[in-house]
Structure 1
C-alpha cells in the first residue's frame, strides 16, 4: 500500500542581528529598517526597560563589562557597532573618550569572536588621505583605532566611513543648525572653508543595511557621501536658506580651532565633551575617496538641501511631541508623589600607559600591585596571599583599604581583571561590583588601566577632592615609572634605585607574567 506524506513548509531562517546603541540617534532609526528582514537583539544600557516585539528582543548591556558583552551577543549572527563614548558614563569619569572607546571596542570584539559572529558592521568617520596618524584629530584617530581593534580578533569587519550625517538628532548637523539659528552675524575662521561630504541619515542607514552579510565587503573600509561636496560655510548658508533666515557671514584668515571649540559650545549649549572633538576634526577635509567607494552603497542620493529641510522638519515634530508628552506627564503626576530614585555615586577612571617591549597586560597588573607597595613604603604596603588576592594597607593599620581579587575566568595575557572585593575605602553592593582592569591595545604596547563601577565609602565631596586626586597622581607616577624602565632598560627597579620586591619576597609569577590560579 502506497502512503503519501505532505511536504513540510520550510520557513526561511531570519538572521539575528545584535544592534548596539539601539536607543540612540542612528540606532533607533536603523532598528525600524532592520525588522523587515531580520530579527534584532537591541542592545542598550537600559534595555530591560523596553518592551520586546515580534522581531525585536531588548537586552540591557554595559560594554565596559566583558561578561555583559558576551551575554549580549549570544545567539546573534551579525553585529552592528554604533558605540562612541564621548559623554561621561559615571557620576565621576576620569577618562579621555579615546581610552573609553578602546575598552568598549575590545570587549565587543572579543565577545563577537566567542559567540561566533559572522561579521561586524561599524559606522566610522571618513579618514582624510595623506594625513599621518599622529596629525589626525583625536576624534578621527580614535575612530581609526576602534576600527583596527574590532578587526583584531578574527571576526570580519565592514566599516562604513561617513562625513557629516544630516539628520534631526545626533551631533554634527544639530550643532551647525543651532549656530545658524542663534547667530545673525557669523565670523568664519578658515576651517569653515574646509570641504566635507555631507550625507543624509537615510542614505547612511541604507549603506549599513546593505553591508550586512555581504561577504565581498568583509574586512573593507567603505567611504560614503551624498551628491554634494561642500564647505561648512556653504552648508551654513544653505541651512539659513532652508530656515528662511537672513544671515551675514564674514571670513577671517585664522584657523582658531581651540577658540572655535569654546565659541561653538557657548552658542549651541551642547556639552563640551561632544563639541570639542568634533570641532577639532573640522580642520580635515572629509570627502569620500573614489578608491573606497562601492556601487550601490557609497553614493547617497539625497541632496544636502533636501536632507537639511527634512531634518529640521522632523526635529520640529519631535519637539512638539516631547512638549505634549511632558505636559501630559505633568498633569498626571500633579497629585501623585514622585517616584523614588536611587542615586549611584560610582566612579570610572581610565588612564593609558606604554608597556616595555615583551610585556603584556597580565604582567602590568601584577607588576602594578608590586610597584604600589614600593613607591611609599613608609605609608603604603601591599600584601599578596599567594593565590589570587591582593590587599593594600595604609601603615600602621591592619585593616586593608582595598582588597582586589584576580579573576582568571575574565583574564588572559592581554587583559587582566581584578574585582574590588573589599576594603575600608569601598562599598560593595549586590550586582554592582567594582573592577580594576588592565587591557593591552591589540598590536601595540599601549595599555589602558581602568577602574569600573567603583563605589567609594568616603563621603562624595571628600572622596572627589582627596582619594580621586591621589589615584590620578598614582597613575601619573606609574606611567612615568614605566617610561623610565623603557628608557633605561632596567625593568625591575623602582625609582630611587631600590631593588624590586620580586627578587625578595614577591612570588616569581609577578615577573614572569604567568598566572598562579586559585
Structure 2
C-alpha cells in the first residue's frame, strides 16, 4: 500500500540515471526546454540542470543571462525559422507551450488554432534538427466521452499531441489533471475563490471528480521520461494518491488557510455562468479562465490502462501539496524584488521594442485533394473576383501578388511567395510591401497556409503584420474587413467541398 509522502521527500527521491548525448561521446545530453521562464518551465529547469545541459527557450530569452549548463535563447514558435534555430544542438525537447493569452497587440485567433500552428512548427523543427524525443505535458482525457463532446481545451490538447507526433519524432505525453503549485492557472484560481468568498453556491461541476497532483511529482514524471525508449509513443496519466471533487478541494484549501467557509450545492450545471463569476472574483484573464472552466465538467481521473509504475502514482496528499504551494507563494511575496527601474541585463545587449503588430488566424476545410499551395493561390484569385468592384489583384506570373484599390496604381498590399520557407505542409507569402504595410526592424509580416497533419483542415494565418493605418482606424476597418473576408472564404470552401 502506498504511503503519503511530503513534497520534500519527493524532491530527495533518487533521480533516474541521466541519458547522454550522441552515442559514444559521453557528453551530457542537451535538453531544449520550451516555456523555460513559465510556471512549469522555470521549476523544471532547476531539476534538469544537475544532469543535463539545458537550452532554455523563451520569447524574450535574450533578456536572460546564461549560467552554467543553461543557455537562454529567444524563440518565437510562430516562426518556423526561429523554431529551427532554437532547437539546434538539442538531443531531446520538452514541450510546455500553451497559447491561451493574446500573442500580439491585436490577436484575432482562437487559442486552438494558435496551439496547432505552434505545435506544427515545433514538430517540423524537431524533425529537421534530429531531436530524439519530445516530452509533452497535457491534460487527462476522459475515456468515456466522445472527442467532439470534450471541452475546447481538452480537444486542443489532444490535437497538439497528434500534431507533435506527426513528423516522425517519438513523443511521450504526460497527462495531468489539476497541478497543485504556487503559480499556474487552476490551483491559484481555486485558492482565490476560497480566500475571497466566505459563502459559495456550488454548481454541479464542483462535484466532478479530478485527481490533483503536486507540482514536484509532475516535474519528476517529466524528468523520468527523458530518453526512456520504452515510453516513446505513449500517453501516460499521472495523479495524486486519490480522486477528489472540486468541492472537497475547496474545503481542504480552506482548512490549510485556516478559514471557515460555507458551501451550498445547487443542482445546476452552470458552466457559462461560472466562467463569468470565477473571472470576476479571481481577476483571471477570461482568455485563460473560460477554456479551463469549461473543462471542469469532465472527470479527470487517472486511467489504469494509461499508467506507468513510478511515474503515474503520485503520493503527496492534496492538503500537503496545497500547504507547500501556499508556503512558497508567501515566501515569494516577501522576497525582495530588486530595483524594478533598472533595465534587464540581456545576452544580446538589446531590449525588444513593443510593436503595434497583428496576428489573425482562421481555420478552413480544404475541398477534395487540394493542398496549401492551391489554397493560397485560389484565395487570392477568389479575393479579386469577390471584391471586384472595389479591388483588383495583379499577378506577375511568378511569385508576387499586388492588391490594388480599383482606382489606384499604388498597391495597398504586396505578397511575395517564399519557396525557401514553404514546404509540402505549408505555403508562406511575405507581406513585402504596399501602402497598408509598415516595415519593422524586428517584424516581418507574412501570410501562411498550414495544413493540419492527417486532416483536410487548414489554418490561414497573418503573422507579425504592422499596419500603416492609425491603430484605431485599422482596428475598426481593415481588421474587421479581414474577418468578414475570411468568414466568406470559409463558407465558399464549404460549398466547394459539398460539390466535390
Of 61, 67, 70, which residue of structure 2 is paired with 1:53? Answer: 67
1:462 and 2:457 correspond: no
Contact between 2:63 and 2:351, CA under 8 Å: does it hold in 1?
A: no
**Aligned partners of 1:352 and 1:251: how far apart in 2?**
40
The answer for the alignment partner of 1:138 in structure 2 is 152
The answer for the alignment partner of 1:37 in structure 2 is 51
User: Any idea what the Cα deviations from partners look like across 1:393-435, whole Å, max 9, x if unmatched?
Assistant: 1111011000011111111232001010000001012231101
The answer for the alignment partner of 2:441 in structure 1 is 430
The 5 Å alignment of 1:174-193 reads 174-193=188-207
Unaligned runs of at least 5 residues, structure 1:
1-9, 334-338, 490-518
Contact between 1:163 and 1:198, CA under 8 Å: does it hold in 2?
A: yes
Contact between 1:362 and 1:412, CA under 8 Å: does it hold in 2?
A: no
Please report how far the alpha carbon of residue 357 of structure 1 lies from its aligned counterpart in structure 2 after TM superposition.
Answer: 2.0
The 5 Å alignment of 1:231-310 reads 231-310=245-324
Of 110, 122, 126, which residue of structure 2 is paired with 1:108? Answer: 122
**Aligned partners of 2:144 and 2:353: how far apart in 1?**
50
1:414 and 2:425 correspond: yes
The SS at the match of 2:311 is coil
CA RMSD of aligned residues (A): 1.4
**Aligned partners of 2:362 and 2:164: how far apart in 1?**
20
The SS at the match of 2:263 is strand
Please report how far the alpha carbon of residue 64 of structure 1 lies from its aligned counterpart in structure 2 after TM superposition.
Answer: 0.1
1:13 and 2:27 correspond: yes
1:47/1:246 CA distance change after superposition, 3 Å: same
**Aligned partners of 2:434 and 2:106: how far apart in 1?**
20
1:127 and 2:165 correspond: no
Deviates more, 1:261-270 or 1:480-489: 480-489
The answer for the alignment partner of 1:344 in structure 2 is 355
**Aligned partners of 2:120 and 2:262: how far apart in 1?**
47
Please report how far the alpha carbon of residue 340 of structure 1 lies from its aligned counterpart in structure 2 after TM superposition.
Answer: 10
**Aligned partners of 1:189 and 1:446: how far apart in 2?**
36
Of 427, 437, 457, which residue of structure 2 is paired with 1:446? Answer: 457
User: Any idea what the Cα deviations from partners look like across 1:91-113, whole Å, max 9, x if unmatched?
Assistant: 00000000000000000000000
**Aligned partners of 1:340 and 1:74: how far apart in 2?**
23
What TM-score do you get using the length of structure 2 for normalisation? 0.92
User: Any idea what the Cα deviations from partners look like across 1:119-178, whole Å, max 9, x if unmatched?
Assistant: 000000000011111000000000000000000000000000000000000000000000
The SS at the match of 1:325 is coil
The SS at the match of 2:297 is coil
**Aligned partners of 1:104 and 1:383: how far apart in 2?**
32
**Aligned partners of 2:333 and 2:32: how far apart in 1?**
30
Unaligned runs of at least 5 residues, structure 2:
1-23, 344-349
**Aligned partners of 2:206 and 2:295: how far apart in 1?**
11
**Aligned partners of 1:206 and 1:376: how far apart in 2?**
56
User: Any idea what the Cα deviations from partners look like across 1:9-60, whole Å, max 9, x if unmatched?
Assistant: x983100000000000000000000011110000000101111111000000
Contact between 2:452 and 2:458, CA under 8 Å: does it hold in 1?
A: yes
Of 283, 307, 325, which residue of structure 1 is paired with 2:337? Answer: 325
The answer for the alignment partner of 1:81 in structure 2 is 95
- Structure showing greater Rg: 1
**Aligned partners of 1:413 and 1:305: how far apart in 2?**
51
**Aligned partners of 2:216 and 2:352: how far apart in 1?**
37
Contact between 1:265 and 1:272, CA under 8 Å: does it hold in 2?
A: yes
Deviation >6 Å, runs of 4+: none
**Aligned partners of 1:340 and 1:140: how far apart in 2?**
36
Contact between 1:193 and 1:232, CA under 8 Å: does it hold in 2?
A: yes
Contact between 1:362 and 1:414, CA under 8 Å: does it hold in 2?
A: no
The answer for the alignment partner of 2:414 in structure 1 is 403
1:213/1:65 CA distance change after superposition, 3 Å: same
**Aligned partners of 1:280 and 1:112: how far apart in 2?**
32
**Aligned partners of 2:235 and 2:174: how far apart in 1?**
6
1:210/1:340 CA distance change after superposition, 3 Å: closer
The answer for the alignment partner of 2:227 in structure 1 is 213
Higher RCO (C-alpha 8 Å, min separation 6): 2
The SS at the match of 1:261 is helix
**Aligned partners of 2:367 and 2:58: how far apart in 1?**
37
The answer for the alignment partner of 1:147 in structure 2 is 161
Please report how far the alpha carbon of residue 301 of structure 1 lies from its aligned counterpart in structure 2 after TM superposition.
Answer: 1.7
The answer for the alignment partner of 1:65 in structure 2 is 79
Please report how far the alpha carbon of residue 341 of structure 1 lies from its aligned counterpart in structure 2 after TM superposition.
Answer: 8.3
**Aligned partners of 1:239 and 1:60: how far apart in 2?**
38
